[in-house]
Amino acid sequence: MSDLSTWPAAIRAAHRRIAPHIHRTPVLTSSRIDALVGAELWFKCENFQKVGAFKARGAFNAVLSLSEAAAAAGVVTHSSGNHAAALALAARTRGITAHIVMPQTASAAKKAAVAAYGGQITYCAPTLEAREATAAAIALETGAVMIHPYDNDAVIAGQATAAVELIETVKGLDVVACPVGGGGLASGTGLATRWLEPAARMVGTEPAGADDAWRSLQAGALTAAARIDTIADGLRAMIAPRTFALIQACVDEVLTVSDAAIVEAMRLIWTSLKIIVEPSAAVPLAALIEHRAEIAGRRVGVILTGGNVDLDQLPW
């Protein structure tokens, strides 16, 4: 959908479609964090979402948007993270099969999560090429529909609904901030913000060790990160042409932060809000702390993207 005017209807339809299946997650605040940042922050808690991450929104919208004929043979994706669990749950809810291609090297916790939601796991070698080839072979063999984690309009429209709820709940936001991984959430959040709170500044945030969105915006063309090296494992993916175009259209700026700042922000969320978020979810707060002079006194909405962490592998 290159015509941006068609997105509001698509996002509204997505929200209606997925509402029976997702949580309308709470928005929390912390006077301690507000005092530290010098602004009013509202945190949209997608760590409380089904499967523990906003990914449930996009996956449900994609699965529920399929025609009966298209859905019959199931869906397939290659992901070892939250999208895989989300797609498995969405498919099970619709009563169809989800084929999940995962690298053999994925953690036991991730394998167990996908299996718990009923996903049919196929293991492959731990390279992007192997994952894509295996998923393509499954699609060809079974007729399953590929549901890409972010390079997919229905997924983007689903992810947009988190910002819709945030903006409906907190009126008059001056800034909306979210992480940028493959760009599905950033695209959706940007679209929702342009539509519902057009005066707000839309800020994408990403780890310095996965700064493809920042580089791409600087270069004006899709550009890979120099290296992928970050604790924020949900944000290592590279943006796609589709999400890059939407980010160019709807995101005012992308800020990058160090892993040390991400870990510090994660601890601050755990200790102040008393909630569990994964490192990727702490990236916007890390950026807001670093750039607090620019948002002094402003009303800032932050999407906390997920809460799936391995308690035996905490970064401190």
Q: Are 303 and 160 in contact (CB under 8 A)?
A: no
* Segment near a second copy (CB under 8 A); pick from 98-106, 136-144, 149-157, 264-272: 264-272
Minimum CB distance to a second copy smaller for 44 or for 194:
44
State in angstroms the smallest separation of the CB of 124 from a second copy: 27
Least spacing, CB of residue 62 vs a second copy, in Å: 23
Instruction: Tell me how far CA of residue 299 lies from CA of 134, 208, 287, in angstroms.
Output: 46, 25, 15
- d(Cα 49, Cα 18) in Å, to the nearest integer? 12
CB of 28 to a second copy, least distance (A): 8
Interface with a second copy, residue 271, by CB under 8 A = yes
The answer to the question of residue 267 lying near a second copy (CB under 8 A) is yes
Query: Residue 147 in contact with residue 62, Cβ under 8 Å?
Result: yes
Per CB under 8 A, which region of 7-15, 120-128, 151-159, 275-283 contacts a second copy? 275-283
Report the candidate in 34, 77, 39 with the shortest Cα–Cα distance to residue 59: 77
- Give the range of 12-20, 70-78, 225-233, 269-277 binding a second copy by CB under 8 A: 269-277
What track of x and - describes contact with a second copy for positions 219 through 258 (by CB under 8 A)? ----------------------------------------
CB atoms within 10 A of CB 44: 27
Burial of 128 (0-12, 13-18, 19+ CB in 10 A): exposed
Q: Looking at 4, 275, 290, 299, which residue binds a second copy (CB under 8 A)?
A: 275
* Burial readout 156-189 (b: 16 or more C-beta within 10 A, e: otherwise): bbbbbbbbbbbbeebeebbbbbbbbbbbbbbbbb
Tell me the one-letter amino acid at 54.
F
**Min CB(145)–a second copy separation in Å:** 28
Closer Cβ to a second copy, 45 or 147, answer by number: 45
Q: How far apart are CA 128 and CA 36, in angstroms?
A: 41
Report in angstroms how near the CB of residue 278 gets to a second copy at its nearest.
10
Establish if 123 lies at the interface with a second copy (CB under 8 A).
no
Contact pick of 10, 265, 276, 285 for a second copy (by CB under 8 A): 276
Task: Judge whether 88 and 118 are in contact, CB under 8 Å.
Answer: yes
Residue nearer to a second copy on the CB measure, 63 or 276: 276
Instruction: Rule CB under 8 A: say whether 270 interacts with a second copy.
Output: yes
DSSP string, 17-45: HHTTTS----EE--HHHHHHHTSEEEEEE
Q: By CB under 8 A, is residue 311 in contact with a second copy? A: yes
Enclosing H/E stretch for 145: strand 145-146
In the region spanning residues 24 to 83, those forming contacts with a second copy, defined by CB under 8 A, are 26, 47-48, 52
Name the minimum Å distance from CB 234 to a second copy.
15
Using CB under 8 A as the binding rule, whether residue 92 contacts a second copy is answered as no
DSSP reduced 3-state for 73: coil
SS3 76: strand
Interface stretch with a second copy, choices 140-148, 228-236, 242-250, 308-316 (CB under 8 A): 308-316
Task: Give min distance, CB of 311 to a second copy, in A.
Answer: 6
Diameter of the chain by CA atoms?
A: 57
Rounded Cα distance between 5 and 285, Å, is 31
Residues that bind a second copy (CB under 8 A): 26, 47-48, 52, 267, 270-271, 274-277, 307, 311-312, 314, 316
